[in-house]
Amino acid sequence: MDILVVNPNTTAGMTAKIGAAAAAVAAPGTRIIAVNPETGPASIEGWVDGALAVPGLLQEIARGEARGVAGHVIACFDDTGLDAARSLAAAPVVGIGEAGFHVASLLAGRFSVVTTLARSIPVIEANLLRYGLAGRCARVRASEIPVLELERPGSDAEARISAEIAAALAEDRAEAIVLGCAGMADLAARLSARHGVPVIDGVAAAVTLVEGLARLGLRTAKTGGYAAPRPKPYAGAVFAPT
């Protein structure tokens, strides 16, 4: 099967890292197609970036549907454009934030999230409430690392994330950690070994969940809120669903 993994920002280096993390957990016979939009923000850090990333994201989802992929992964921890993508796609669509939360809830009674900047905390907390998992999350912590810093060689990003994990275990009584950015995908195994608790990468979690949904033959519901958009004129330079 083919799975489309969309990094909603336009940073190609991050897309390559995400694609490698996805391929590392994909089952034999699964091909990962990792893409990013041609237009939009270089990173997603808060509400405005997320809104501006959605048109490019939807264009990639539409392309994936046209090529007949078995499922889609939205590789932004904010689950940017998730509902709109599900309305556009018949194949299953999973966001890495929701995947990380749900997997953590299957492994631990309490988990903490370690994300990048504090401005992302309200977005993540809103998603936890929406998914019904706010009561399982002890705290959402910010390591105060800009997303693009995760791409810089020699950065101290891993050390700062590790310090937040240590604080979460000591202060939050967290039993598992969810890494709150797709750009952290390559750190999960090392940090789990270092701290002795499950450290969950949402990219790997989402790929595994999408594979399972596809193998079950399940598709996105189309009788309610995720019904396909109605045909209508769209004005200006905007992606128009067809």
DSSP 135-152: GGEEEEEE----GGGGGS
Q: What strands, in cross-sheet order, belong to the sheet with 2-6?
A: 31-35, 2-6, 71-74, 93-95
Mark whether 87 and 36 lie in a shared domain: yes
For range 234-240, the mean pLDDT: 78
Mark whether 56 and 77 lie in a shared domain: yes
- Domain span at residue 132 reads 97-201
pLDDT of residue 234: 87
Residue 149 — very low, low, confident or very high, per pLDDT cuts 50/70/90? Answer: confident
pLDDT of residue 108: 98
Residue 239 within any structural domain of the chain: no
pLDDT of residue 42: 94
Residue 23 within any structural domain of the chain: yes
For range 119-129, the mean pLDDT: 97
Residue 109 within any structural domain of the chain: yes
Mark whether 107 and 11 lie in a shared domain: no
Residue 222 within any structural domain of the chain: no
Mark whether 87 and 124 lie in a shared domain: no
**Is residue 72 a contact partner of residue 94, using CB atoms and an 8 Å limit?**
yes
Mark whether 187 and 103 lie in a shared domain: yes
User: What is the distance between the alpha carbons of residues 83 and 87, in angstroms, rounded to a whole number?
Assistant: 6
Residue 233 within any structural domain of the chain: no
Measure Cα distances from 37 to 54, 147, 210, 215 in Å.
Answer: 9, 17, 21, 28
User: What's the residue count for the chain?
Assistant: 242
Residue 27 within any structural domain of the chain: yes
Residue 132 within any structural domain of the chain: yes
Residue 4 — very low, low, confident or very high, per pLDDT cuts 50/70/90? Answer: very high
Q: Which helix (H) or strand (E) holds 52?
A: helix 47-66
- 111-115 and 137-142 strand pairing: parallel
CATH number of the domain residue 154 falls in:
3.40.50.12500
- Give bridge partners of residue 177 from the DSSP assignment: 112, 199
For range 185-209, the mean pLDDT: 96
pLDDT of residue 154: 79
For range 170-179, the mean pLDDT: 98
Mark whether 83 and 107 lie in a shared domain: no
Mark whether 179 and 161 lie in a shared domain: yes
pLDDT of residue 59: 96
User: What is the distance between the alpha carbons of residues 187 and 241, in angstroms, rounded to a whole number?
Assistant: 36
For range 29-47, the mean pLDDT: 95
Mark whether 187 and 171 lie in a shared domain: yes
Mark whether 23 and 140 lie in a shared domain: no
Mark whether 157 and 182 lie in a shared domain: yes
Answer whether residue 239 shows pLDDT above 80: no
Give the model confidence (pLDDT) of 90-120 as tens digits: 999 999 999 999 999 999 999 999 999 999 9
Mark whether 123 and 67 lie in a shared domain: no
Residue 225 within any structural domain of the chain: no
Give the model confidence (pLDDT) of 44-86 as tens digits: 999 999 999 999 999 999 999 999 999 999 999 999 999 999 9
Read off the DSSP letter of residue 7: -
Mark whether 133 and 48 lie in a shared domain: no
Domain count of the fold of the chain: 2
Amino acid present at 56: G
